[in-house]
Structure 1
Amino acid sequence: MAVWVVGKKIGDLGGYGEVYIAHQKEGDSLSKEAYAVKKLVKLNRLSIERFQREVRLCSHLNHKRIIRILAFHIQEEPYFYVMPRYQSSMNKLLPEIKRDIRRIKVVINRILDGVEYLHQQGIYHRDLKPANILLNKEDDLVISDFGLGMQAGSVTRSLTLSHAGLGTRFFAAPEQLKDAKHVDQRCDIYSLGCMIYLCFSRNVMDRHFDFRNVPPALTYVIRKSTALNKDARYADIQSLRQAFNWAIHSLVHS
């Protein structure tokens, strides 16, 4: 069984968990490669069950745009899992790529790759936001933090109460904030629209979009993705990707 030696704390997950640098013990020495350990610190029944669900859900996924869980301990304290260490999140990248059409195209399409795979597996992330996109560089990124992830039609729904809202304001779809149990892939479409918007604007006021710095072609894509009525949004990732790339193409070649 692998032994992990935990170092300094590098992240705080709002009282729910903490993230540490770690190295794997190899005999009497430590691995040169650094990893990240996510440890659960909020030890109530619901938090433990959500953490266990996150690990079980994510450990069955296999895609280069989805975070890999390398090891875990979830049956008793300490509850933790080990994952590759990434240098930063999309939050740090956003100021660098602001309104840079070509770089934005790369980042968003990489994210769409991962979300499309999730939806093909019947999984809704329900917490897509820049903080949950980890990266080393813009073409080397993964989707992380599946604490609110839900497998359609499975027992994972039972951890979400009917008529209970979950998610991060601004990024969470209106129907998810009202009833997170009965959502579909369009809740993630909404979050992706918000993330595309933030590639052009810094305004994250609740439900208010300022499109003065957003090209008209992409304004349409964002508005449709973030429609309050989910039936007015893109139905799936393929439709969103097609519209997004068409808009980007029109800007690059205009």
Structure 2
Amino acid sequence: MSASLMPLSESQKVDGNGGDGGAREFVEGWTLAQTLGEGAYGEVKLLINRQTGEAVAMKMVDLKKHPDAMLSVRKEVCIQKLLQDKHILRYFGKRSHDDVEYLFLEYAAGGELFDRIEPDVGMAQHEAQRYFLQLLSGVQYLHQHGIAHRDLKPENLLLDEHDNIKISDFGMATMFRYKGKERLLDTRCGTLPYVAPEVLVKPYHAQPADIWSCGIILVTMLAGELAWDQPSTNCQEFKNWTDNERWSTQTPWSKLDTLAISLLRKVLATNPTYRLTLEKILEHKWCNMQFNENEHSHDLVDSAAALDIHSPKAKRSRQHSSKHRLTNHFVDDTISRNYCSQPMPSIPLDLTDVGLAADGANNNPAAAQEARLNFCFSQPALLDDLLVCTQMNQTQSASQNVFHRLVRRMTRFFVTTRWDDTIKRLVATIERLGFACKVGDGGVVTISTIDRRKLRLVFKAYIIEMDGKILVDFRLSKGCGLEFKRRFIKIKESLEDIVLRGPTTWPIAIATNAVP
């Protein structure tokens, strides 16, 4: 690592206030603006280039605190190096310094998909169709390269500045095909409401399991709620679906039209042998229907071309995106310096060494299991077989300068009270609603509760002074995005008397996603 790219010592760093209102220099010319997320092994930070305005997400893994994380980092890096697609969050490189691994990833300025889903309502069909087709495009790219994601859900789908899907968080991804040879998977992993039923009984084929998760995501986008808590006969909602009894009169299905239902019955076929393939899904009438064609017509995906990564249209798109690559300040030590301006090189991998060749092929089963459990950057809630029911999400925010450029997010509002009064009022409201909370450095309020599935839900409220006003910015840390938004609505309604009303200035409009 060159001296100019070395993280500055503590004495060299610009002081911040501990919250998101301050910023400090990380390397020369790059400002460490704020924390985007946190996980089992460290944090995700936002870096902004002061001269160019470029932004990058930096994942930090402290190997002194977490020596067992090395295998996880190596596996994630090996997978991310293989991927270069417009619907996959891009990997720029890795650096090591003082036993800390720094992974540099694309910064998704559009926020998270779950933020676009209104609880118990969902979104318009034309919007859901657009996101769904983009998701399928990214998943097909993964499968063509022999990689299964294994934890697809709205919390792991980010959006770029043009509102396009970016699949993220490859902590549970694995390679199921290598040199033309495909293998069955035997690790139970994923997030229970989105996981395919065969994953619970194992072994299972990779591709149908990912396709099932895409189907559940579509249900969530259309209805604003999950289909079931888990795909097992212990769950009555799932049992109704599999027995074909009473499901059509119950939510979420009663909210959907017959065309969407006809697609979902085939995508969510409990027998993976009869489940639609990606190609068959694209042939379905719902995927080719023109919903509200006057809205977002320029962004609607041409379904046939979108999933053919070798089509001229797809190639032109990749060539266009390559013109906007990040500078090579953060290029991996092991990758050519031309990586950020040239196509992804073919990198030979020792798959067995990093645990990609087989889920259970290891001379030491206990060590293999431990490696799997510690692989994901977000700590699983249930350590038994990586069945996660709550997970860290890389909630993001940025601006046209270090302090003021924010991602699109619905879960924030301005208030009329002063900074310290805002914290007092917020804490009192949270406690009255029965949630636990703790005020940390910089006035960051961490809220903890249990959701309706009796799972832990954690989110944070950042109190930020900007343009002479106070912004209360809520971000999900762990748990279900829909459950988080339901809690946010309750808190906002309880603070209605101090939520800023009246004329909206341009900076406020940008910050609160209210741009006309």
TM-score range, shorter chain: 0.7 to 0.9
* 1:164–1:178 Cα contact (<8 Å) kept: no
Deviates more, 1:99-108 or 1:114-123: 99-108
Percent of residue pairs identical: 24
* 1:86–1:136 Cα contact (<8 Å) kept: yes
TM-score normalised by the chain length of structure 2: 0.42
* Residue pairs, 1:167-178, within 5 angstroms: 167-178=190-201
Count, aligned residues: 238
Q: Is 1:109 the counterpart of 2:127 in the alignment?
A: no
Shift in CA distance, 151/68, structure 1 to aligned 2, threshold 3 Å: same
Say which one has the larger Rg.
Answer: 2
Shift in CA distance, 33/83, structure 1 to aligned 2, threshold 3 Å: same
Q: Specify the code of the residue in structure 2 equivalent to 1:230.
A: P
**Which consecutive segments of 4 or more residues in structure 1 shift more than 6 A?**
none
Shift in CA distance, 3/70, structure 1 to aligned 2, threshold 3 Å: farther
Other-structure match for 1:196: 218
- By how many angstroms is 1:194 displaced? 0.4
- By how many angstroms is 1:32 displaced? 2.1
* 2:196–2:209 Cα contact (<8 Å) kept: yes
Other-structure match for 1:36: 57
- Report Cα offsets for 1:214-239 as digits up to 9, x if no partner: 111111222322222211211x2111
Higher relative contact order (CA 8 A, sep 6+): 2
Other-structure match for 2:75: 53
Q: Is 1:185 the counterpart of 2:207 in the alignment?
A: yes
Other-structure match for 1:9: 35
Other-structure match for 1:233: 275
Match of 2:159 among 135, 143, 151: 135
Q: Is 1:80 the counterpart of 2:86 in the alignment?
A: no
Shift in CA distance, 138/183, structure 1 to aligned 2, threshold 3 Å: farther
CA distance in 1, matches of 2:196, 2:97: 33
Shift in CA distance, 57/144, structure 1 to aligned 2, threshold 3 Å: same
Q: State the Cα RMSD in Å.
A: 3.0
- Report Cα offsets for 1:21-53 as digits up to 9, x if no partner: 1135xxxx66522211122357253x4322321
Other-structure match for 2:286: 247
Q: Specify the code of the residue in structure 2 equivalent to 1:115.
A: V
Other-structure match for 2:46: 21
Match of 2:253 among 203, 211, 214: 211
Other-structure match for 1:123: 147
CA distance in 1, matches of 2:142, 2:77: 15
CA distance in 1, matches of 2:194, 2:98: 33
Other-structure match for 2:84: 62
CA distance in 1, matches of 2:278, 2:75: 24
Q: Is 1:223 the counterpart of 2:248 in the alignment?
A: no
- By how many angstroms is 1:248 displaced? 4.7
Shift in CA distance, 3/218, structure 1 to aligned 2, threshold 3 Å: farther
* 1:134–1:141 Cα contact (<8 Å) kept: yes
Give secondary structure in 1 for the equivalent of 2:211.
Answer: helix
Give secondary structure in 2 for the equivalent of 1:200.
Answer: helix
CA distance in 2, matches of 1:177, 1:54: 24
CA distance in 1, matches of 2:147, 2:172: 10
- 5+ long unaligned stretches in structure 1: 156-161
- By how many angstroms is 1:140 displaced? 2.2
Q: Specify the code of the residue in structure 2 equivalent to 1:242.
A: E
Give secondary structure in 2 for the equivalent of 1:189.
Answer: helix
More helix by share: 1
* 1:133–1:144 Cα contact (<8 Å) kept: yes
CA distance in 2, matches of 1:192, 1:59: 24
* Residue pairs, 1:145-184, within 5 angstroms: 145-154=169-178, 163-179=186-202, 182-184=204-206
* 1:106–1:139 Cα contact (<8 Å) kept: no
Q: Specify the code of the residue in structure 1 equivalent to 2:214.
A: L
- 5+ long unaligned stretches in structure 2: 8-25, 27-31, 180-184, 232-236, 238-250, 293-516
CA distance in 2, matches of 1:58, 1:93: 26
